[in-house]
Amino acid sequence: MARDSQLITFLVLGIISTLAFLVQTSNAGGIAIYWGQASNEGTLLDTCNSGRYKYVMISFLNQFGNGQKPQINLASHCNPAGGGCQVASKGIKACQKKGIKVFLSIGGGIGKYTLTSKADAKNVADYLWNNFLGGKSSSRPLGDAVLDGIDFDIELGNPQHYDDLARFLKARSTSKRPVLLSAAPQCIYPDKFVGEALQAVSFDYVWVQFYNNGPCQYDAKTGSVKKLLDSWDKWNKNLTKSNKIFMGLPAARKAAGAVGGYIPPGVLKSKVLPKIKKSKKYGGVMLWNKFWDVQNKYSDDIIGSV
């Protein structure tokens, strides 16, 4: 009987420890990174082999819509003409084998893109499906690898019909091969370009850009995080259809524009993460971008706290 009591006690303590661990880690997050806009940021394979990131956004498809021939721009990584970027297929597959989700980011701050109608959105969705997702095409720009989803980093052009594009893409999802959607809205709520889409369609990941927006970012002059956290709370409250929300940040001071928004790692870990990790929708931190993260090693500083 004594041995039985000891065994029962041991099992109970084990269950309690397991439950405590699950509670502590329930809101554990990951780091998302944008890759593709600098030659000396390392390859896609290097990025995934670093062990720092759970999500990688290949950026950007920055020309599409309005009857234009879609065009991808990966800076000096590769020349898409003549299929020169199909070499990325190997890296994409290697990343996915590690459990890393890989997206194609459409839009960006420089480019020529717009959607002029629902029919235009349907055409773009078909192109994305056949050339980057589970469809078939003889001219897949990144090779035969099937990406996990599409990221909406829309900052230019007509803000209409991105809800249509999101619906058309989600309609392609199956239980075996879901089409994941992510978006990178500005932190001023609601976002001008993807605000309507975020209200209409369930996005899997939303990495809000808490930089280059004075009213809703970290105040470097005073060290105050109030505006940042107030904005986070607003997004957390209003983004009812989306699954996970990320704190989008510049990975270095120079990664942000003139308005700023860079948060020193120590401030992020002590004043921001403990607050936002209480949210059930907390997904982690998004960094712009891989080049600046290499320079500043920001992810190295925060990965243990994210």
Catalytic site positions? 155
C-beta atoms surrounding 18 within 10 Å: 10
Cα separation, 306 vs 299, whole angstroms? 9
Cβ contact 72:80 at 8 Å: yes
Residue 233 near residue 272 (C-beta atoms within 8 A): no
String of b and e for 43-56 (b: at least 16 CB within 10 Å)?
ebeebbebebbbbb
Report the distance separating Cα 70 and Cα 147, nearest Å: 17
